[in-house]
Amino acid sequence: MIEFENISKKYPNGKVAVEDINLKFETGEFICLIGTSGSGKTTCMRMINRMLEPSTGKILIDGKDILEYNEVDLRRHIGYVIQQIGLMPHMTIYQNIVMVPKLLKWSEEKMRAVAEELIDRVDLPRSFLDRYPSELSGGQQQRIGVIRALAADQNIILMDEPFGALDPLTRESLQKLVKKLQVELGKTVVFVTHDIDEAIKLGDKVAIMDSGSVVQFDTVENILLNPANDFVKNLIGEDRLNEAQFNIDVVENIMMRNPYTINVNDKASNILTMMHKNRVDTLFVVDDEHKLLGVVDIFDSRKSIFKGEHIKDFMKHAESISVDTKVKDAAYYINTLQYRNLPVVNDDNVLVGIVTRAVIVDCVYENFWKGYIPEDEQHEEE
């Protein structure tokens, strides 16, 4: 666990780079620090391994003030990766990977084992260990750079815009790799970026910085759903906010309430009256506690209704979704699986709403299309 307590940093020239930062990173979390250039990200990061000393406040690692750790020890136990993961050209891949373990005086045996394990993890052949960087492609070299950062088995890895200068494809494959390794190996990663897509993709939690302050620190989901202010909204951008809303929102927020129902003990003939009165062709069947039991459809049930059978004997099973089903999943059921509508139930199976095709259409329109339709056309429609 890494904690920032009232951290401020004023550089000797008087520049206040960060002011009163309070943050808490849990062990095993992938934390992204994001903000515009000059907002204080690098300053924050470098204080964690004491490359910079804060002017005020303290930083704790696992509850202990970092000033109480031996400085060299501390730095050896925290990995640090900066832009352009440069490999040493005159050293083999193996020697590059075990640079820090060598400083830590690991045995040759242990270093070999770790290098082999890591190169396996990034799907490169072990024979590469004895080659030189120039014999590998750019992308392969980058992957070696990533595993080098993990070789010393440090629990905390600091990464300062490591992929900033890469082309989009290489960048994306390295992002996936870093995330995969972080999860597999349970590392705590503090990752600086100015790319919001990168932060959203990688971060369990994201700290958004502006002019030396943290304006929001939360999970990606919470930030997307509840951006703290206009700065955060602008950073995320309207399209992403809308898309996130759609991807994260749950059906409880969009469903129609009070769908038409019939009690399972009612007379079957009431079905027709109810349907006619409300101009619907299906009714959900509920018990006295309004729990969902099934569904009746006018076309399927006509004969049974005329024969006066009990509703429970001819109703059909109703596929239902729960209040916390994601809107995007409901859209999938309706669009791909061709459900006309879906009853929504709470944890006790009580029927609380319905999601119809029309509701999904509205939702897609609101989230994806509204901004693309010219203003005047929108007015014409209204």
Which residues of this protein are in contact with ligand ADP, per CB under 6 A? 11, 13, 15, 17, 35, 37-43
Please state the closest distance from residue 44 (CB atom) to ligand ADP, in A: 7
Q: Is 193 in the site for Mg ion (CB under 5 A)?
A: no
Please state the closest distance from residue 334 (CB atom) to ligand ADP, in A: 44
Q: Is 341 in the site for Mg ion (CB under 5 A)?
A: no
Question: Order of strands across the sheet with 321-322?
Answer: 256-257, 351-356, 341-345, 321-322
Please state the closest distance from residue 192 (CB atom) to Mg ion, in A: 6
CA-to-CA distance for 353 and 321, rounded, in angstroms? 10
Residue 224, by phi and psi: left (phi above 0), alpha (psi -120 to 50) or beta? alpha
Q: 93 phi and psi, to 5 degrees?
A: -60, -45
Q: Of the two residues 43 and 341, which places its CB atom closer to ligand ADP in the complex?
A: 43
Find where tokens 């006309």 sit: 340
Q: Which does 79 bind (CB under 5 to 8 A by kind): ligand ADP, Mg ion, none?
A: none
Q: Is 261 in the site for Mg ion (CB under 5 A)?
A: no
Q: Which does 259 bind (CB under 5 to 8 A by kind): Mg ion, ligand ADP, none?
A: none
H helices within the chain, ranges in order? 41-48, 71-76, 93-97, 99-103, 108-121, 138-150, 168-185, 196-202, 220-225, 230-236, 238-248, 269-278, 298-307, 311-314, 327-335, 357-364, 375-381
User: 3: how many CB neighbours lie within 10 A of its CB?
Assistant: 18
Q: Of the two residues 10 and 112, which places its CB atom closer to ligand ADP in the complex?
A: 10
Q: Of the two residues 35 and 343, which places its CB atom closer to ligand ADP in the complex?
A: 35
Q: Which does 369 bind (CB under 5 to 8 A by kind): Mg ion, ligand ADP, none?
A: none
Q: Of the two residues 37 and 127, which places its CB atom closer to ligand ADP in the complex?
A: 37
CA-to-CA distance for 77 and 373, rounded, in angstroms? 54
Q: Which does 338 bind (CB under 5 to 8 A by kind): ligand ADP, Mg ion, none?
A: none
Please state the closest distance from residue 380 (CB atom) to Mg ion, in A: 49
Q: Which does 39 bind (CB under 5 to 8 A by kind): Mg ion, ligand ADP, none?
A: ligand ADP
Q: Which does 13 bind (CB under 5 to 8 A by kind): Mg ion, ligand ADP, none?
A: ligand ADP
Facing residues of 256 across strands? 354
Q: Which does 258 bind (CB under 5 to 8 A by kind): Mg ion, ligand ADP, none?
A: none
Q: Of the two residues 41 and 148, which places its CB atom closer to ligand ADP in the complex?
A: 41
39, 42, 142, 261: which one contacts Mg ion (CB under 5 A)? 42
Q: Of the two residues 42 and 301, which places its CB atom closer to Mg ion in the complex?
A: 42
CA-to-CA distance for 183 and 177, rounded, in angstroms? 10
Written as one string, the DSSP assignment of 246-287 is HHH-BGGGTPEES--EEETTS-THHHHHHHHHHT-SEEEEE-
User: 88: how many CB neighbours lie within 10 A of its CB?
Assistant: 12
Query: Would you tell me which residues interact with Mg ion (CB under 5 A)?
Result: 42
